[in-house]
Amino acid sequence: MDIVFIKQLEVISTIGVYDWEKSLQQKLYFDLEMAFDNRPAAADDDINLALNYFSVSETVNKFAQSHQFELLETMAERVASLIMEQYPVPWIKVTLHKPGALPKAQSLGVQIERGTR
């Protein structure tokens, strides 16, 4: 199976456990890896047979902007489910980064894999 990926997709969302976090928007970064058979698109050089990177990124961006969660784990789970429901993706790995959340660390986050590769 082939892997289609989107790295460092920047989204703005409201996320966090603490009261002060719930009143502001923060920058998050998604890394998405998705199993997808690229052979039909490649054979015909046909964009209509490919996984639409732009559409996937817009789906994630709109979801992150319109939902508020306390946990990164919840956001990652919901995004993985959403992509697998809306696109023909049998497996996904979602890495969600929250930069600046820990002193002395560039970023923190979670990584999940769902489905069958």
Q: Please tell me what DSSP assigns to residue 87.
A: S
Q: Please tell me what DSSP assigns to residue 21.
A: G
- Active-site residue, 62 included: no
Which residue is catalytic, options 22, 62, 93, 98? 98
Number of residues that make up the chain = 117
- The rounded distance, in Å, linking the Cα atoms of 90 and 92 is 7
Catalytic residues, by residue number, are 98
